[in-house]
């Protein structure tokens, strides 16, 4: 067990603390804890004003006194902005994950460094990834959901940015991996269409599909993203759905023989157009419907009748049903990355203060790639 030294010296900046990796003794000096507070339930697209910055004057030394056996105190390095979090802002308690508590700190996936541990599985200096608070320091009680990041000391291998553990090697990456291999039933030569194709999940789906020998087309909402899809992410083709006058016609152009696999991230009119262009026995794998903001979609889907004539399977999934595959995923995707077979694009915002805007931006497609907020240097 680590022995704690509480120090009040000003020079113990958060950065200084973070450099204490590997030491069993961590100095904890911060008097304040900046936090992003969830104000209250909504039933629309999130807005910045649904959250607020609060300076909690509970010092880290005080936090330590509140810790129970098994808890760890961490400093948060990276916070992940993910569309599923919108679901937790609703007053709906029957979903697969409970809603946020109004007037409490927002929660999400992050990468954090352990400052103090009352858990024998973690020690000060460990870097972990899992659910944490949108704040500088968090006491994590549910440590079972954390994964310790093995930092590779082998200089020969390609280093993996810590932030990738909330993206390429985190929940979005695993969502892409499980969704593609376990739900899409992909075959070499299949025609694959990915919407939100440069997003946290989509960019990986497209690359996995290419590695699998598929023909892959993606759509996104800016010309910059379309360029990335074609020139960096290896898509066979890509288009800006916002500038296409007729989505049905666009899809017919890119998929003259129909779509075998549609990896659905957006919902709405795009889904309706896709349903008109599926191939026989096609699969619509529903990962998200980011365009639909309420508890009930604003855009009704009119073309489901094609499910019958085309014998389409439309299937929603959650990565959490496939967690037994996580170790294989980590191994495979780490290997792909180190071999240069996969790249990953992040949209990195700086500072906790930027987190609400970064999160809200997901729903209007402002992010280019996986949206991460950096709180402190590594």
Gyration radius of the chain over CA positions = 22
> Applying CB under 8 A, does 297 fall inside the site for its own copies?
yes
Least distance in angstroms from the C-beta of 59 to its own copies: 39
Least distance in angstroms from the C-beta of 317 to its own copies: 6
> Applying CB under 8 A, does 93 fall inside the site for its own copies?
no
Least distance in angstroms from the C-beta of 248 to its own copies: 11
> Applying CB under 8 A, does 325 fall inside the site for its own copies?
no
Nearer to its own copies, 100 or 122 (CB): 100
Type and span of the H or E element at 227 = helix 223-231
Q: How far apart are CA 2 and CA 22, in angstroms?
A: 11
> Applying CB under 8 A, does 301 fall inside the site for its own copies?
yes
> Applying CB under 8 A, does 246 fall inside the site for its own copies?
no
> Applying CB under 8 A, does 187 fall inside the site for its own copies?
no
Beta carbons of 337 and 361 less than 8 angstroms apart: no
Residue span binding its own copies (CB under 8 A) among the ranges 70-78, 144-152, 307-315, 354-362: 307-315
Nearer to its own copies, 48 or 323 (CB): 323
Task: Give the largest CA-CA distance in the chain.
Answer: 72
How many other CB atoms are found less than 10 A from the CB of residue 4? 19
Residue span binding its own copies (CB under 8 A) among the ranges 141-149, 152-160, 233-241, 294-302: 294-302
> Applying CB under 8 A, does 290 fall inside the site for its own copies?
no
User: Pick from 279, 286, 343, 368: which binds its own copies (CB under 8 A)?
Assistant: 286
Least distance in angstroms from the C-beta of 254 to its own copies: 18
Q: How far apart are CA 140 and CA 118, in angstroms?
A: 10
Q: Calculate the CA dihedral of residues 16, 26, 118, 107 and round it to 10 degrees.
A: -10
Q: Which of 112, 27, 18 is nearest to 72 (CA)?
A: 112
Q: Which of 114, 163, 103 is nearest to 139 (CA)?
A: 114
User: Pick from 7, 61, 151, 315: which binds its own copies (CB under 8 A)?
Assistant: 315
User: Pick from 196, 197, 271, 373: which binds its own copies (CB under 8 A)?
Assistant: 271
What values do phi and psi take at 131, rounded to 5?
A: -75, 130
Least distance in angstroms from the C-beta of 190 to its own copies: 18
Tokens representing residue 227 in the block: 């360029």
For residue 119, what are the CA distances in angstroms to 61, 63, 305?
17, 15, 55
Residues that bind its own copies (CB under 8 A): 87, 95-96, 267, 271, 280, 286-289, 292, 295-318, 321
């Amino acid at each position: 067990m680590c022995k704690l030294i509480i120090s009040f010296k000003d020079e113990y900046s958060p950065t200084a603390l973070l450099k204490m990796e590997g030491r069993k003794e961590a100095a904890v000096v911060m008097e304040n804890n900046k936090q992003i507070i969830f104000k209250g339930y909504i039933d629309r697209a999130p807005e910045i004003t649904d959250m607020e910055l609060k300076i909690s004057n509970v010092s880290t030394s005080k936090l330590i006194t509140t810790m129970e056996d098994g808890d760890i105190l961490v400093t948060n390095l990276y916070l992940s902005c993910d569309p599923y979090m919108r679901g937790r802002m609703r007053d709906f308690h029957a979903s697969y994950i409970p809603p946020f508590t109004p007037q409490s700190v927002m929660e999400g996936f992050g990468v954090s460094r352990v400052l103090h541990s009352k858990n024998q599985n973690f020690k000060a200096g460990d870097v972990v990834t899992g659910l944490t608070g949108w704040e500088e320091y968090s006491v994590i009680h549910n440590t079972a959901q954390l994964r310790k990041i093995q930092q590779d000391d082998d200089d020969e291998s390609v280093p993996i940015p810590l932030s990738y553990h909330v993206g390429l090697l985190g929940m979005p990456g695993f969502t892409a991996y499980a969704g593609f291999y376990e739900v899409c039933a992909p075959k070499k030569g299949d025609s694959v269409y990915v919407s939100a194709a440069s997003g946290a999940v989509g960019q990986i789906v497209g690359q996995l599909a290419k590695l699998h020998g598929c023909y892959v087309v993606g759509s996104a909402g800016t010309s910059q993203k379309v360029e990335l899809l074609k020139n960096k992410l290896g898509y066979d083709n890509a288009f800006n759905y916002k500038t296409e006058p007729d989505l049905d016609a666009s899809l017919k152009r890119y998929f003259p023989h129909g779509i075998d696999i549609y990896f659905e991230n957006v919902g709405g009119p795009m889904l309706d157009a896709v349903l008109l262009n599926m191939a026989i026995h096609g699969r619509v794998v529903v990962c998200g419907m980011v365009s639909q903001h309420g508890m009930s979609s604003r855009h009704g889907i009119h073309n489901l009748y094609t499910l019958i004539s085309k014998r389409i399977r439309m299937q929603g999934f959650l990565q959490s049903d496939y967690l037994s595959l996580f170790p294989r995923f980590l191994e495979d995707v780490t290997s792909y990355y180190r071999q240069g077979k996969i790249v990953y694009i992040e949209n990195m915002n700086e500072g906790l203060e930027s987190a609400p805007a970064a999160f809200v931006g997901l729903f209007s497609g402002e992010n280019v790639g996986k949206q991460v907020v950096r709180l402190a240097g590594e």
